[in-house]
Amino acid sequence: MQEKIKVFIDGSEGTTGLRIKDMLRAREDIHLITIDEKDRKDLKVRAEKINSADVVYLCLPDDAAKESVSVTTNPNTIIIDTSTAHRCDGEWAYGFPELSKEHFGKIKKSKRIAVPGCHASGFIAIVYPLVKAGILPRSYPLTCHSVTGYSGGGKPMIARYQAGTDDVTLASPRQYGLSQLHKHLPEMAAHSGIDFAPVFNPIVCDFFNGMAVTVPLHAPFLNGKVGAARVFETLKKHYKGSALVTVTNEDAEMIAANELADSWKMRINVSGNDERITIVAVLDNLGKGASGAAMQNMNIALGMKETKGVQNGN
């Protein structure tokens, strides 16, 4: 009988951790290492659990994630961090395998993998291939709009939305990150190949999960005679063969941000003309934007089919 893979989730009570836990419980090849409630913040106990595991998911605030990494002494333990702490650390693999063969290869051989942020996943999925193809200038002044469900705000925001209060502002889309210091901005710049971060407008709405990340482009400022058709063909070619990322050019009247809620896939849609182009990445902020990506990275690092145990994978 094949030995089960020992997995520990450090910080399993948050939204991302709970989703990962549910996915792992459904897999017969996984032994989930548990921790008593009273020991969840005991670093010594956590260190014991971490170093006894084959794979550790960090679902913690940045400082706590760094603390967990600092007590990892087992050279064979694979750390998959869902926090912001290591996404711009060159020693860590950036966990978006569809970006390139190099990204996939680094994930496959790495013991340290940083899961991309949800907003960043949509933005980078759009921008990276266009920069790589030479269509989008690195110095292009990009703007990004992202509409997301409230689960991305974690337990406090979820509780507020689900409390049934008379706060009418919760029924309205609410823009945040107005200071242009959103925590995803550094990785959005670092991993898309652009010279500086975009102007970023995240908007939270009254639905639980799902998101639509939009990057508008002025075609005359791209390299060469490039319109919506060329952008579509470039992105379609880049993601050809991907199990989780698809590219369409539907001339849809509307795109719903929760279209792929509860899926681990991403759909990139290109529309517009030879003057103005709208590119929208639709995904689940808890799926390809968090837990699903984390599971996908584990599968790759362990040499398994990347969609094993991933909902709606092929």
- Give the number of other Cβ atoms within 10 Å of residue 156's Cβ: 8
Note if 59 is an active site residue.
no
Tokens of 84: 């912001």
Write out the DSSP string of 178-224: TTS--TTHHHHHHTTT-SSPPEEEEEEESSSS-EEEEEEEEGGGSSS
Assess contact for 200 and 146: CB atoms under 8 A.
yes
| Cβ atoms of 202 and 267 closer than 8 Å | no
Strands (E), 111-166: 112-114, 143-149
For 31, the token pair is: 């032994």
Distance CA 111, CA 88 (A): 16
Task: Name the catalytic one among 59, 118, 144, 205.
Answer: 118
Contact 285, 148 (CB under 8 A): yes
Are 5 and 31 contacting, i.e. CB atoms less than 8 angstroms apart?
Answer: yes
Task: Give the active site residues.
Answer: 118
